[in-house]
Amino acid sequence: MNLSWFWSRSFLMNRGMLWLLFVVNLLGTIYGYIWYGNQLEDTLAHNPLWQIVFVPDSPTASLFFTLVLLYFLFPPKSSSKWINGTRMIIEGLAVVTSVKYGIWAVAMIVAGGWQGDPLNWQHGMLSVSHLGMALEVLLYARFMKAGGIAAFIGTLWLLLNDTVDYQFGVFPWLAEQLMDDLPQVELFTYCLSIFSFIVGWLALRARKQV
């Protein structure tokens, strides 16, 4: 069997594979929101309610991709502009957010470990799962209907999220060793948003019609 078959349309768009990824991503999304539980409670206690949506970055990214998998499994029968537009925006959000937070989380784990944060099996699990987020969305981008405009809209959301995170202090909790490097983390986060747009745009340009 040729290895290229494993990233072919026949393999990736097989309904069994789509259902497997849907279940894995749904469970991962739920786990992600639970993981953010303490920070969500802290934000509700000390910040305005509207900021809560900007707290759980990675699980929201995986939620977008979970919705994309639903579109693959159950393509909308209607071809209205509203339905198609909504789908493309969700796909654009899924691509840029999954690339960004997949990389960002691993970068923060590595940076924290480099500066002395004790690493354990959970850090390894989080690294593998977040890299998987970025990889899977890039594999499936070519089967999406979204284009550059949707990726741009998704990037506007990323930049808004970055601004709220670092202006109001609701960024994902970091290892204590990284708190004295917060300006550098903020700069890296903004740059990664732009990088994610470029990568996402290129991936969507290579898409095939489903």
Residue 210 in any domain: the answer is no
Structural domains of the chain, count: 1
The token pair that represents 35 in the structure block: 């993981």
Q: Convert the pLDDT of each residue in 163-205 to its tens digit.
A: 999 999 999 999 999 999 999 999 999 999 999 999 999 999 8
Residue 67 in any domain: the answer is yes
- Residue-wise pLDDT tens for the chain (210 aa)? 566 666 788 889 999 999 999 999 999 999 999 999 999 999 999 999 999 999 999 999 999 999 999 999 999 887 788 888 999 999 999 999 999 999 999 999 999 999 988 889 989 999 999 999 999 999 999 999 999 999 999 999 999 999 999 999 999 999 999 999 999 999 999 999 999 999 999 999 886 544
pLDDT at 207: 66
Structural domain for 35, as ranges = 3-205
